[in-house]
Amino acid sequence: MTIDAVTLAVLKGRLEQIADEMDATLFRTAFNPIIAEAHDASHGLYDAVTGDTLVQGKSGLPIFVGVMAFAVRAVVAKVARDGGLADGDVFLFNDPYDGGTHLSDFKLVRPYFRDGKLFCWLASVGHWHDVGGNVPGNYNPAATESFQEGMHIPPVKLVSAGRLNADIVDILKCNSRLPLSLYGDMSGQINALDLGIKRMDTLLDQYGAAVIAETFGELRARAAKLMRACIAELPDGTYSAEDWLDNDGIADVPLKIALDIVKKGETMSLDFSRSSPPCAGPVNIARSTAIASCYVALKHVFRDVPANAGCLEPISFVIPEISLLSAKAPKPVGGYTETILRVIDVVFQALAKAAPLAVNGCAYGTINALSLAGHRRDGRRWVMFSFFGGGLGGSPESDGLNHGNAPISTATIPPVEILEAAYPVLFNQWALRPDSGGAGRHRGGLGAVYELELLEEQADVFLFGERGRTAPPGVAGGKSAAMNRFTYPTANGTAQPPMASKMTGLHIAKGDSLRLETPGGGGYGSPSERPADAIARDLALGYVTQAAAARDYPAQIKDAAQ
């Protein structure tokens, strides 16, 4: 090694700052709130030859951190096949099988040239508001082919040597219910890539290409070394866990996600062979997505390992060709968020058996994509599309966080007042949900109750959720949280969806109310170890009702009564 440790530390900060700055540029200029408020986007630098992740921004969506390398690889393969790569090109695509995640996520990939040679790739991914398909917002719980989920674009040159291909922009706009939003988000992503190129020029002018190239290699080696050290501390052995998806939205049959971790020395194998085969509905995920979600789970446990390809070096994956977790076109993948949350849950549950002091209880485990769409009196179309929160798991240190965001995301939720100002809805409740956190020495955080009423004449409602049949589990003896529950009005009362937390074809009228009660997090440690004063506080503040406390903490409640 010729680069010294100090320069390396300095350059690591500089490179991360470039990715962060690209994130910030897109967040500030994006049109759709899923990017601007929920930060459903990510940026980074990738290896010129392999597409491996070199550096990733800190503020982007965690799941993208794992998946972007696959997206860049798809472009690398395209260039290898077709040739004709030029400085100033920008590729655009949303293929979910090669590039990961789902059709809503548009990846823009741009080569960075130095002295006439390809030095590395820059990429930007963002979740666009609407990309066609059967359901506004693209969470179609009844899809059986990806054609019902939205347009499908393979890697194409959006920009050729600096010249924007306006034909492609026209095709994209024509296939979206919200063309202006699409145009605004795409422009923001181009801006972010422009900025990244500018910053790379400055950095390479200052340090020289050779030093930066060496820095990339060195950072990767160090991440691998750090991950090996983390794995080595776990006892050797096989650790297994199983968890379930409610159903695929088509047939009401539970789908199994099973993991066997084989840990030996400094390496770990994650084997998903015992999981369910592909399903008819939209909860399949591509192999790239499955690996990316394991990466997210491991990063939540081994927090100090830097975000680059090195951290996956000591880890191997066994995912059968025919599996729910290695979907091929045109299997629907629109609900990928639910499946990857479950993959993360099994990683936590299996690792908790190896290292109970390093792992927390499972989080609420569903994003609850709720879409309401209709027309205003003046004929204008409106689409309200939002994800909802729930509790995080109890940890070795403390109770879980009430009403947090999902482990795959850093998204915030829009305020009630912003939603009410933008859409014809009125919220009657926006509250914590008592008894929703799993019992334990450290209780899981609470989920939420959201109740909203329609103010316009009509609306169509779509819900894509999970955890309506199997609750988020605790770890290390902690108990499960409450399950997800969605209630809608019928002619003679209220009802829950036949597919538990997935609903399509629901029409509501003015004055109708929808109620969503989200899961909390799983508990950590045995409930019998929860201190009496913590239980008393839960009761006084109404986080836990008397009846639930008597059920979950019988010994402590009995002692308190005496």
Partner 1 sequence: MKPSLVVGVDVGGTFTDLFFFDEATGLAQTRKVPSTRGDQSIGFVAGIKSGEADFARIAAVVHGTTVGTNALLERKGARTGVIMTNGFRDVLEMRRRDRRQTWGLWGEFVPAIPRDLRLEVPERTLADGTVRETVDLAAVEAAARQLLAGGAEAVAIVFINAYANDANERAALAAVRKVWPNPYVTASHEILPEIREFERASTASLNAYLQPVVASYLSRLDKRLVEGGAKGQLLIVQSNGGVMSVETAARLPIRTALSGPAAGVIAAAHIAKSAGFADVLTGDMGGTSFDVALIADGKAALAAQTTIEFGMVVRTPMIEITTIGAGGGSIAWVDRGGLLQIGPESAGSDPGPAAYGLGATRPTVTDANVVMGRINAARPIGGKLASLDIDAAKRAIDTHVAAPLGLSTLAAAEAIARVANSRMAGALRLVSIERGHDPQRFALMPFGGAGALHAGALMKETGLGATLVPRFPGVTSALGCVIADMRHDFVRTVNRPLGALDTEALGKAIAEYAAEGERLVRAAGVELEAIASEIELDMSYVGQTHTLAVPLANPKPDAAAIRAAFEKAYKAAFGRLLEGIEMRVLTLRVAVVGKRPKIDLARLAPQGGSVAAAKTGTRPVWFDGAWADTAIYDRLALPIDARIEGPAILEQPDATTVIEPDLAATVDRFGNLIVRRR
Footprint on residues 84-123 left by partner 1 (CB under 8 A): none
Residues 274-313 that bind partner 1 (CB under 8 A): 299-300, 303-306
At closest approach, how far in Å is the CB of 125 from partner 1? 16
Closer of 27 and 93 to partner 1 (Cβ): 27
Quote the least distance from Cβ 360 to partner 1, whole Å: 5
Rounded to the nearest whole angstrom, what is the least distance from the CB of residue 9 to partner 1 in the complex? 5
Report the distance separating Cα 446 and Cα 451, nearest Å.
Answer: 16
Q: Which of 73, 99, 93 is nearest to 152 (CA)?
A: 93
Rule CB under 8 A: choose which of 156, 418, 495, 555 binds partner 1: 418
Least CB distance to partner 1 at residue 331 (A) = 30
CB of 122 to partner 1, least distance (A): 17
Task: Render the burial of 177-187: b for 16+ CB within 10 Å, e for the rest.
Answer: bbeebbebbbb
Distances (CA, A) of 233 to 226, 229, 266, 306, 352: 11, 7, 8, 18, 14
Task: Return the number of the residue (61 or 142) whose C-beta is nearest partner 1.
Answer: 61
Give residues 318-347 in contact with partner 1 (rule: CB under 8 A): none
> One-letter amino acid identity for 519?
P
Binding status of residue 399 toward partner 1 by CB under 8 A: yes
**Which of 9, 80, 166, 547: binder of partner 1 (CB under 8 A)?**
9
Residue 166 found at the interface with partner 1 (CB under 8 A): no
For β-strands 156-160 and 163-164, DSSP reports them as antiparallel
Distance CA 407, CA 298 (A): 11
Q: Based on the shown chain and the rule CB under 8 A, indicate whether residue 147 belongs to the binding site for partner 1.
A: no
Name residue 326's amino acid: S
Q: Of residues 79, 209, 426, 557, which one binds partner 1 by CB under 8 A?
A: 426
Residues numbered 454-493 forming contacts with partner 1, rule: CB under 8 A: 455
Rounded to a whole number of angstroms, the minimum distance from the CB of residue 256 to partner 1 is 24
Cis peptide before 155 (omega within 30 of 0): no
For residue 377, CA distances in Å to 44, 456, 458 come to 44, 8, 10
Candidates 159, 407, 188, 432; CA nearest to 298 is: 407
CA dihedral 264, 265, 268, 273 (to 10 degrees): -10
Q: How far is CA 144 from the centre of its chain?
A: 22
Tokens at residue 352, please? Answer: 């908790």
Closest CA to 118 of 23, 209, 192, 20: 209
Report in angstroms how near the CB of residue 70 gets to partner 1 at its nearest.
Answer: 20
**Ranges assigned E (strand) in 148-236:** 156-160, 163-164
Q: At what angle do helices 179-207 and 209-232 cross, to 10 degrees?
A: 100
Give the separation between CA 543 and CA 80, rounded to whole angstroms.
Answer: 58
Q: Does 3 bind partner 1 (CB under 8 A)?
A: no
Q: What is the DSSP string of 345-377?
A: HHHHHHHHHH-TTT-PPP------EEEEEEE-T
Taking the least distance from each CB to partner 1, the nearer of 250 and 363 is 363
d(C-alpha 61, C-alpha 53), whole Å? 15
Decide whether 265 or 415 has the Cβ nearer to partner 1.
415
Binding segment toward partner 1, per CB under 8 A, in 73-81, 90-98, 246-254, 410-418: 410-418
Interface pick for partner 1 out of 44, 51, 62, 334 (rule CB under 8 A): 62
Asked whether position 174 contacts partner 1 by CB under 8 A, the answer is no
Assess 127 for contact with partner 1 (CB under 8 A).
Answer: no
Rounded distance, CA 99 to CA 155, Å?
10
155/184 with CB nearer partner 1 = 184
420 binds partner 1 (CB under 8 A): yes
The residue count for binding partner 1 (CB under 8 A) is 86
**Using CB under 8 A, which residues numbered 537 to 556 contact partner 1?**
540-543
> In the complex, what is the shortest distance from the CB of residue 348 to partner 1, in angstroms, rounded to a whole number?
9
Interaction residues for partner 1, span 188-247 (CB under 8 A): 191, 222-223, 225-226, 229-230
Least distance (Å) between residue 296 CB and partner 1 = 9
Q: Residue 416, interface with partner 1 (CB under 8 A)?
A: yes
Q: Which of 211, 258, 431, 560 binds partner 1 (CB under 8 A)?
A: 431
Query: Is 173 or 274 the residue whose CB approaches partner 1 more closely?
Result: 173
Identify residues 20-39 at the interface with partner 1 (CB under 8 A): 21, 24-25, 27-33, 36-37
Query: What character string, x for contact with partner 1 (CB under 8 A) and - otherwise, covers 376-395?
Result: ------------xx--xx-x
Q: Whole-angstrom Cα distance, residue 101 to residue 492?
A: 40
